[in-house]
Each structure stands twice: as structure tokens, then as C-alpha cells.
Amino acid sequence: MILFAVAGHTFAIAASAVEEIRSLDGMQPLSGSLVAPRSKKFRYVLERGQRTCFVLDAAAHFRLAGSKPSRLLLLRNVPAGVLVDSIDRMAEIAAVKPLPRAFHGDERCWYRGLALIGERAVPVVDPAAFLSKPDLAMLRAGALRRVQEASA
């Protein structure tokens, strides 16, 4: 697992779900007119060869305030990157425990479960929750419009 921080909170994500951890260089702002209001968590786009990655703010996704992103997690098999404040470390875990009933609503979609790391219970993020199919369709349509407007 890769442990990362957002707004003072620690999260874990499977190392196999992350293609690369990088700086914020190369990101381009995503035009607000191309993004539906419900998806304001998407702020940037990163072009990498033939691949377009839509970059979202993890603090906006998790509804946390006070974030200062300094790293970008590029996800594997998902055209998305996630802005995080910092990378804590890598950790090996024995198992992911089911979420307690106290987790409800969107939280049940965001997390695969909890990992016990030392004395702490850390939420394990479901990478598929960062970019839903409707969000991806909306972002791809917006990117296509941006390309068409640029070539017109």
C-alpha cells in the first residue's frame, strides 16, 4: 500500500493501482466551461503522449478543507490523476477489514475497507471511485470540444 495525506488525513491505496507518483509539472487547467458544476473536483488535465489524464483534487473528492497538494498520483488503468498533499510511505498490510457501519453514503463507495497500520486504522481508497463513468464521459466530451474549438 501507498500511504498518502490529504488535509491532515492519512489514506492508503494499493500500490498496484498507481502507475506513477510525480510532481505537479505539466498539468494544464481544465476550463471551467467544459466541466459540469457537480464535478468541480476535476481541476487539471495532463497530456502524456497519446494518453489524457484528468486530474482531480483529492480534498474536493473527500470533502476536506485545508489541502496543499504537492504530489500527483497517476492511476493505472484509469485515465485519472489524484492531487495529494504528500506521500507518507509504503506499507505492507495483512488484510483489508470491512468498513464499519459508521461509514455511510459516499464513504461506502470511496473506500474498499480499513487497513490496520501500527495502531492506526487507515481507509483504503477504491481507485475506481475517483472517476465514475458519467464523469469520464463528461470530461472526454469536454476535451473533445476543447480540441475542436482550438482547431476551428
The helix or strand, by DSSP H or E, that contains position 117, with its residue range, turns out to be: strand 111-117
- Residue that is written with C-alpha cell 494518453 in the block: 51
DSSP 8-state class, residue 95: -
Residue-wise pLDDT for 104-140, tens only, equals: 888 888 888 899 988 889 999 999 888 878 777 877 7
What is the third-level CATH fold of 2-151?
OB fold (Dihydrolipoamide Acetyltransferase, E2P) (2.40.50)
111-115-118 Cα angle (round to 5): 150
d(CA 20, CA 51): 14
Residue 137, CA distances (Å) to 36, 54, 120 in order: 11, 11, 37
- The residue type found at 34 is L
Task: Name the pTM for this structure.
Answer: 0.82
d(CA 21, CA 127): 14
Burial class (CB in 10 A: 0-12, 13-18, 19+), 7: middle
Burial class (CB in 10 A: 0-12, 13-18, 19+), 146: middle
pLDDT at 142: 66
Residue-wise pLDDT for 8-62, tens only, equals: 999 999 999 999 999 999 898 876 545 544 456 888 888 878 888 889 999 999 9
Domain ranges of the chain: 2-151
Contact 27, 44 (CB under 8 A): yes
